[in-house]
Chains A and B, each alone.
Chain A
Amino acid sequence: MKFPVSGMSETTLDARNLLCPLPVIRTQNTVEELQQGDTLLVKCTDHGVINDIPAWCRINGHEILSIDEQEYEIVIKLRVGKNS
C-alpha cells in the first residue's frame, strides 16, 4: 500500500488510566480526524489494548507499526489506512 508522502503527521493520544474499550473508542475517534498515512501513538495502561487495538485496526484497515509493552504502560503506534 502506498501512502501520501506530503502532509503526513504523527499524533499522540493519551489513553492512560482508561479501561477498555475506552482506549479503543478514543483511538477510533482520533483516527476519524486523521488522514491516510498519518501515524498515531496511543499511550495506555490497560493491557487489554494489546489485543483490542490491533483487532480494531485489522477490522478497519489500519496498520500496527509497533507495540511497546512496559510493566505499567503500553505504547501502540499505528498507521492510518484508507478511511471509508
Chain B
Amino acid sequence: MTNSINNGKKRKAVALVSGGLDSMLAVRVMQEQGIHVEGINFYTGFCIEGHTQAIRKKDRDKPKRNNALWVAEQLGIKLHIIDVTEDYKSVVINPKHGYGANLNPCLDCKGFMVHEAMEWMTKHDFDFLITGEVIGQRPMSQRKGTMPIVTKESGAGDLLLRPLCAKLLPETLPEREGWVDREQLLGFSGRNRTPQMALAEKYGFKNYAQPAGGCCFLTDASYSKKLADLWKARGEKTYEIDDIVMLKVGRHLRPRPHFKIIIAREEGETNFLRGYRKNYLSMSTISHPGPVSLIDGEPDDDDLELAARLVARFSSGREAELVTVEVMQKNGESRNIDVKPLLADEVPGEWYV
C-alpha cells in the first residue's frame, strides 16, 4: 500500500532521463505508483546526440530525433534540459575516480549529475530523485561497489531511488515513508537486457533507442585521442566549448606541436567551419574547389605556408603546380598565397590526430 498522495500532496520525483530505455522504464515504474515525475537531462558538451548528423550534409536526410525529448513525450512528462558545460569541466579535467578505457570519467560524471539533479530537486520542491541505473550494467559507474559512492558523494543519500534494481539495494526514504511500494520495484542486475526488453514490451514501448556504446563522446577512443592531443599541445588540461565541438568535425592534422589544422571533409562540414572563421585563423582554396580549414594554435609565416600546402593537398587542385589559398585572420583581413600542394608522401601518418 503506497502513500504517494500525502496530505493532499502528490509526491514528486525528478528523473535523470538520458533518452535510453532504462531511464524510460524507471519513470514508468514510478508513474505506475502514482508519482508525478519530471525529467532532467544534462548537456555536458560531450553528448553524442545528433551532433555529427547535424554537421555532415550526407547524414542530414537520416531520421534524427533527440531521444531524451522523445522519451519525455512518450511518457507524457516535462523534460528540463540543463546546460552544465562550464561546471562539467572539472569532472573531465580532474576526475577524482579517474578515467575509464578512454577519457570517460563515468563515476565522477554520475556523481556530478545526481548532485546537480539534487540541487534542481530542492529548488523546485520535488521529493526524491530516480535514475534508470541497473547494478552491473556498466563497468565503471553502475557496479554494486560504486553505486554507494554515487549516493554518498552526490549528497543524495537515501533520496536517490533506483527503481530497476531497488530490491537489491538498501531501502530508501521514499520506500520507508511509503511514498512508493518496494514490492513493486525491481531487482534487475547485470548486462543482460532481456528483463528490460520484456518490461518495455509490457508497457508497450516501441522504437526506443538501442544501446550503442554510450551517449558520450568521451567513451570514444578516436575522440579521446583528439582531446588528449589538445591538452598536450596546450601544456595544460583546459578546454572551451568551441574546442570540444571542433573535435567532432573534420580531419585533424598536427604538422607541428604548436598548431593543428582542421580540414572539412565535405560540404556540410565546410559550411559549419565557415561559421567559426571569427574564432580561428582560416584557409580556403581560391583557384580550385576545396574545403574550408581552420588553424588552431600559433603558426608563424613558415607554418602558414606549410598549412596552405596541406590545405591545397585536400583540394581538387592537389595535382596542380600552384594553388591559390586565401588566409583569413579572425578580424576578416585576408591575403592570398600561391603554394605547391604537398604530395601524398609529404603528409606523414603521424600528423593525423
Q: Which of A1-52 contact B (CB under 8 A)?
A: 16-17, 19-22, 24-25, 28, 45-48, 51-52
B79 touches A19 (CB 8 A): no
Asked whether any CB of chain B lies closer than 8 Å to the CB of A58, the reply is yes
User: Chain B's nearest CB lies how many Å from the CB of A36?
Assistant: 16
Cα of A55 to Cα of B39 in the assembled complex, Å: 14
Other-chain contact of B43, A25, A48, A52, A72 (Cβ < 8 Å): A25
User: Chain B's nearest CB lies how many Å from the CB of A61?
Assistant: 9
Query: Interface with A: B47-55, B95-103, B330-338, B339-347, which one?
Result: B47-55
Task: Note all chain B residues with C-beta closer than 8 A to A72.
Answer: 271
Other-chain contact of A21, B60, B64, B81, B245 (Cβ < 8 Å): B81
* Residue of B69, B79, B82, B83 contacting most chain A CB atoms (<10 Å): B69
A48 touches B83 (CB 8 A): no
Cα of A20 to Cα of B83 in the assembled complex, Å: 11
A24 touches B69 (CB 8 A): yes
Other-chain contact of A19, B54, B82, B83, B276 (Cβ < 8 Å): B54
**A20 and chain B: residue at smallest CB distance:** B50
A19-B78 in contact given A25-B83, A52-B66, A72-B271 (Cβ < 8 Å): no
B79 touches A21 (CB 8 A): no
Give the interface size class of chain A.
20 to 34
B3-44 interface code vs A (CB 8 A; 1 in, 0 out):
000000000000000000000000000000000000001010
Task: Note all chain B residues with C-beta closer than 8 A to A19.
Answer: 50-51, 54-55, 245
**B79 and chain A: residue at smallest CB distance:** A59
A24 touches B81 (CB 8 A): yes
Task: Note all chain A residues with C-beta closer than 8 A to B275.
Answer: 16-17, 45
B43 touches A21 (CB 8 A): yes
A51-B66 in contact given A19-B51, A21-B47 (Cβ < 8 Å): yes
Task: Note all chain A residues with C-beta closer than 8 A to B80.
Answer: 28
A21 touches B73 (CB 8 A): no
B78-92 interface code vs A (CB 8 A; 1 in, 0 out):
111111000000000
B66 touches A20 (CB 8 A): yes
A21-B276 in contact given A46-B54, A60-B78 (Cβ < 8 Å): no
Cα of A9 to Cα of B226 in the assembled complex, Å: 45
Task: Note all chain A residues with C-beta closer than 8 A to B73.
Answer: 55, 58-59
Task: Note all chain A residues with C-beta closer than 8 A to B307.
Answer: none
Cα of A21 to Cα of B64 in the assembled complex, Å: 12
Cα of A27 to Cα of B272 in the assembled complex, Å: 21
Asked whether any CB of chain A lies closer than 8 Å to the CB of B253, the reply is no
**A52 and chain B: residue at smallest CB distance:** B66
Asked whether any CB of chain A lies closer than 8 Å to the CB of B202, the reply is no
Cα of A24 to Cα of B70 in the assembled complex, Å: 13
A22 touches B271 (CB 8 A): no
**A45 and chain B: residue at smallest CB distance:** B275
B43 touches A51 (CB 8 A): no
User: Chain B's nearest CB lies how many Å from the CB of A53?
Assistant: 9
A52 touches B69 (CB 8 A): yes
Cα of A21 to Cα of B68 in the assembled complex, Å: 10
Cα of A52 to Cα of B50 in the assembled complex, Å: 11
Other-chain contact of A48, B53, B72, B245 (Cβ < 8 Å): B53
User: Chain B's nearest CB lies how many Å from the CB of A14?
Assistant: 12
Task: Note all chain B residues with C-beta closer than 8 A to A45.
Answer: 271-272, 275
User: Chain B's nearest CB lies how many Å from the CB of A4?
Assistant: 23
Please give the residue numbers on chain A whose beta carbons come within 8 Å of chain B beta carbons, in ascending order. 16-17, 19-22, 24-25, 28, 45-48, 51-52, 55-56, 58-60, 72
Can you give 10 A-B contacts (C-beta < 8 A)? A21-B49, A21-B66, A28-B80, A28-B81, A45-B271, A48-B53, A51-B64, A56-B81, A58-B73, A59-B78
| Known contacts A48-B50, A55-B69, then 16 further A-B pairs from the complex at CB < 8 Å, ordered by chain A residue | A16-B275, A17-B275, A19-B50, A20-B50, A21-B68, A24-B69, A25-B83, A45-B275, A47-B64, A48-B64, A51-B65, A55-B73, A56-B81, A59-B78, A59-B79, A60-B78
